[in-house]
Amino acid sequence: MSRDVDMLTGAYLVYVRPLLEVNSVIWSPHYKQDIDLIERVQRRFTKRLPGYSNYTYNERLALLNLPSLELRRLRLDLIWCYKLLFGLISIDSAGLFEVRQATATGGHPYKLFKPQCTINVRSSFFTQRIINVWNRSTC
């Protein structure tokens, strides 16, 4: 068994993390208990690395230059939103959000607005996870 932290981290990034992130744009947990269960995998991996057991989880992530899985899911969501907004993927986004380009807004001119939506999936993805974060960013 190897004790090389770089090799073990590389193996984790290649073999384990993709399984934790598969379809995260479609399904992303929003309950704290579900987020903790997924994050526990990375927390446990980093704690078992030689020499890292005495650090806190956030310290281990900083030392290994790894983002939390929750932050990675948010980043993937924002990338997907960008692709939708600028037509880089062929999905009709008209039912998901409305773009109003305003000149007097702070930040960027591509503010998204929440449509009235009765479908829980659409509502959850764009209102809870994306639109508020997207509008706060200052590209």
Task: Output the DSSP codes for 77-125.
Answer: HHHHHHHHHTTSS----TTT-EEEE-SS-SS-SEEEEPPP---HHHIII
14 burial type by CB count under 10 A (0-12 exposed, 13-18 middle, 19+ buried): exposed
Q: What is the pLDDT of residue 101?
A: 67
Q: What is the pLDDT of residue 2?
A: 79
Q: Is residue 53 part of a domain?
A: yes
> Average pLDDT, whole number, for the chain?
83
Range of the domain at 119: 92-136
pLDDT per residue as tens digits for the range 77-93: 888 888 888 888 887 77
Task: Please answer whether residues 97 and 117 qualify as being in contact, where contact means their C-beta atoms are separated by less than 8 angstroms.
Answer: no
Instruction: Please state which of the ranges 76-80, 95-99, 115-119 shows the lowest mean pLDDT.
Output: 115-119
Strands 98-101 and 110-113: antiparallel
User: Do 19 and 48 lie in a common domain?
Assistant: yes
- Tokens linked to 26: 């479609």
Q: What is the pLDDT of residue 115?
A: 64
19, 37, 71 - which closes a domain = 71
Q: What is the pLDDT of residue 105?
A: 56
- Tokens linked to 31: 């309950």
Domains in the chain: how many in total?
Answer: 2
Q: What is the pLDDT of residue 128?
A: 62
Phi and psi torsions of 86, nearest 5°: -100, 15
Q: Is residue 85 part of a domain?
A: no
pLDDT per residue as tens digits for the range 22-52: 888 877 787 889 889 999 999 999 999 999 9
User: Do 63 and 20 lie in a common domain?
Assistant: yes
* Of 43, 45, 68, residue with least CA distance to 57: 43
Give the mean model confidence (pLDDT) for residues 63-72. 94
Q: What is the pLDDT of residue 39?
A: 94
41, 71, 101 - which closes a domain = 71
- Tokens linked to 63: 């030392």
Residue listed under structure tokens 């770089």: 6
Confidence grade of residue 139 (pLDDT, cut at 50, 70, 90): low
Q: What is the pLDDT of residue 104?
A: 59
Q: Is residue 28 part of a domain?
A: yes
CA distances from 106 to 53, 109, 122, 127 (A): 44, 8, 26, 20
pTM: 0.76
